[in-house]
Amino acid sequence: MNVRTTGAERFFAPCPRGLESALAAELTALDAADVKPTDGGVAFAGPLTLAYAANLESRLASRVLWRVGGGGYRDERDLNALARSVPWGSHFHADRKIRVDVAATRSPLKSLEFATLTVKDAVCDRFRDEQGRRPSVDKRLPDVRIHAYLTDREATLYLDTSGEPLFKRGWRRDTEEAPLRENLAAGLIALAGWRPGTAFLDPMCGSGTIAIEAAMIAADRAPGLARSFGFQKLAWFDGPAWQRLKQKARDRVRPPPAEPSIHASDRHAAAVAKTRANAAAAQVEGFLRVEQADALSRPAPAASGVLIANPPYGVRLEDRERIAAMYPAWGDALKARYAGWTAWLFSGDPDLPKKFGLMAERRIPLWNGAIECRLYAYRIVSGRLPG
Ligand SMILES: C[S@@+](CC[C@H](N)C(=O)[O-])C[C@H]1O[C@@H](n2cnc3c(N)ncnc32)[C@H](O)[C@@H]1O
């Protein structure tokens, strides 16, 4: 097997839209070169080993894709030739199970399904020509994921170094509801500018995603410490180098403080239990104080701090009415008890600011999947707000 050693591989890390600049800063801190945020992700360059660090350390990326080929194309035939020109056999073994995904913006190709088949066939044909055998396809549990991204004129081929998406940190057991994705939760914290040392509260914590991400930051716990990655199935995977990097990350994990300054609460006992169980699974329970409380009546846990919440957004009409009635009371409660705090509310409800009755200082557009949301920032002062 041919192990590539060039120091200038090209990567692309997709992320929730709205987090591109924050992700660019994160990748720059990991020594990535040529860091270029674009819509929905960040392009960057570096040695192959940068893929280890980016997967292990990025709190914001959804995946880390390694560019293995690409160029201009006009039709399926060009796409086939491009995909066939990649030396797949030097990147992974023929006994690996593969999955191909194609995404496109303004592609002239009529069918993405057919484009997917075209890429898959090209990969398998190249293997058969060179080795007399070909990888099999497994859409559910692939060893190796191949991504093709098509624009109007360019096709880019990537090998996915992440495998399962990076918001899966490897600790979540409970998946019955739809909690925030971990990288979006980490993105809210990055946009709010919260750093350990400042008090933190999520008073509507649900399963605890945001507070657990804050606790992982306070613990300096790498988000990928508890999981495996796609690059472990690629030919250039260097097990000892990876183990050394992981050990370094393990060694820097901080012990929990005597008195946690990260707080999470929810009015439902089931949510509190879930948050506790998830914090324990993420190995950060000592960084977090979890309580059952109503956000409208709970006192502030410190004289100043950062509150981040993803309040409920009712789908059914009666829920919407009940929730709409809660906001003005919550706004009043914050003014009465949280002077000195900054509250950041993440919501897909465009009417939230009207209901809340406070003047948002910032409104940051951010996508939760396909749903356009906003992160609203409120500086809480007692009585009426300025402006
Ligand atoms: C959209 S969920 C939060 C999901 C959470 N961000 C996660 O990732 O799991 C909203 C949460 O707010 C809680 N909630 C609603 N009204 C509340 C109130 N007045 N006080 C405290 N919690 C409340 C609900 O119980 C629910 O768990």
Calpha distance 149→368 (Å, rounded) = 21
Q: How far is the CA of 56 from the centre of ligand 1 (A)?
A: 29
Average pLDDT along the chain: 94
Q: How far is the CA of 113 from the centre of ligand 1 (A)?
A: 39
What does DSSP say about strands 136-137 and 97-104: parallel, antiparallel, or unpaired? parallel
Q: Which two tokens stand for residue 88?
A: 């797949």
Average of per-residue pLDDT across 16-40: 97
Calpha distance 173→153 (Å, rounded) = 42
pLDDT at residue 125, rounded to an integer: 98
pLDDT at residue 387, rounded to an integer: 41
Count of Cβ atoms closer than 10 Å to residue 121 Cβ = 15
Q: Which two tokens stand for residue 94?
A: 């023929």
pLDDT at residue 2, rounded to an integer: 41
Cβ distance 48 to 8 under 8 Å?
no
Calpha distance 137→377 (Å, rounded) = 47
Q: How far is the CA of 347 from the centre of ligand 1 (A)?
A: 12
The kind and range of the H/E element at 319 are helix 317-337
Grade residue 383 by pLDDT with cuts at 50, 70 and 90.
low
Tell me if 218 CB under 6 Å of ligand 1.
no
Q: Looking at 117-126, 199-208, 259-268, 308-317, which range is the least confident one? A: 308-317
Tell me if 347 CB under 6 Å of ligand 1.
no
Which of 177, 204, 366, when mutated, tests ligand 1's pocket best, judged by the most ligand atoms within 8 Å of its CB?
A: 204
Tell me if 180 CB under 6 Å of ligand 1.
yes
Q: Name the packing angle between helices 49-57 and 239-251 (round to 10°).
A: 30
Average of per-residue pLDDT across 92-116: 97
The kind and range of the H/E element at 76 are helix 76-84
137 has pLDDT over 70: yes
DSSP 3-state of 377: strand
Amino acid at 164: E
Instruction: Provide the 8-state DSSP code for 286.
Output: G
Per-residue DSSP letters for 206-233? TT-HHHHHHHHHHTT--TTTTS--GGGG
Tell me if 268 CB under 6 Å of ligand 1.
yes
Helices within 139-199 (DSSP H only): 182-192
pLDDT at residue 175, rounded to an integer: 52
pLDDT at residue 364, rounded to an integer: 97
137 vs 387, more confident: 137
Grade residue 351 by pLDDT with cuts at 50, 70 and 90.
confident
Calpha distance 102→135 (Å, rounded) = 18
Tell me if 130 CB under 6 Å of ligand 1.
no
Task: Name residue, tokens 């956000």.
Answer: 295
Grade residue 174 by pLDDT with cuts at 50, 70 and 90.
low
178 has pLDDT over 90: no
pLDDT at residue 379, rounded to an integer: 96
Among 323, 211, 328, smallest CA distance to 271 is for: 211
pLDDT at residue 3, rounded to an integer: 43
Domains and CATH numbers, the chain: 9-160 (3.30.2130.30), 182-222+253-379 (3.40.50.150)
Calpha distance 144→159 (Å, rounded) = 7
Tell me if 76 CB under 6 Å of ligand 1.
no
Q: What is the pLDDT of residues 211-259, one digit of tens each?
A: 999 999 999 999 999 999 999 999 999 999 999 999 999 999 999 999 9
pLDDT at residue 352, rounded to an integer: 84
Written in H, E and C, the secondary structure of 147-204 is EEEECCCEEEEEEECCCCCCCCCCCCCCCCCCCCCHHHHHHHHHHHCCCCCCCEEECC
Q: How far is the CA of 190 from the centre of ligand 1 (A)?
A: 21
Q: What is the pLDDT of residues 363-372, one digit of tens each?
A: 999 999 889 9
Cβ distance 232 to 242 under 8 Å?
yes
Q: Which residues contact 129 (CB under 8 A, 6 or more apart)?
A: none
Q: How far is the CA of 185 from the centre of ligand 1 (A)?
A: 14
Q: How far is the CA of 209 from the centre of ligand 1 (A)?
A: 11
Q: How far is the CA of 62 from the centre of ligand 1 (A)?
A: 24
Tell me if 210 CB under 6 Å of ligand 1.
yes
Calpha distance 112→54 (Å, rounded) = 29
Please tell me the residue having the least CA distance from ligand 1 atom 27: 206
Grade residue 319 by pLDDT with cuts at 50, 70 and 90.
confident
Q: How far is the CA of 266 from the centre of ligand 1 (A)?
A: 6
Q: N- to C-terminal Cα distance for the chain?
A: 65
Q: How far is the CA of 256 from the centre of ligand 1 (A)?
A: 26
Which of 168, 176, 188, 205, when mutated, tests ligand 1's pocket best, judged by the most ligand atoms within 8 Å of its CB?
A: 205
Grade residue 384 by pLDDT with cuts at 50, 70 and 90.
low
Which of 266, 352, 368, when mutated, tests ligand 1's pocket best, judged by the most ligand atoms within 8 Å of its CB?
A: 266
Tell me if 310 CB under 6 Å of ligand 1.
yes
Cβ distance 232 to 51 under 8 Å?
no
pLDDT at residue 357, rounded to an integer: 87
Q: What percent of the chain has pLDDT over 70?
A: 96
Q: What is the pLDDT of residues 271-315, one digit of tens each?
A: 999 999 999 999 999 999 999 999 999 999 999 999 999 999 877
Tell me if 295 CB under 6 Å of ligand 1.
yes
Rg (CA), the chain: 23
> Which residue(s) pair with 13 in the sheet?
42
Calpha distance 318→301 (Å, rounded) = 32
Average of per-residue pLDDT across 7-27: 96
Calpha distance 20→59 (Å, rounded) = 12
Among 340, 342, 326, smallest CA distance to 294 is for: 326
Among 260, 336, 259, smallest CA distance to 296 is for: 336
Q: Which residues contact 243 (CB under 8 A, 6 or more apart)?
A: none
Grade residue 353 by pLDDT with cuts at 50, 70 and 90.
confident
Q: What is the pLDDT of residues 246-263, one digit of tens each?
A: 999 999 999 999 999 999
Tell me if 45 CB under 6 Å of ligand 1.
no
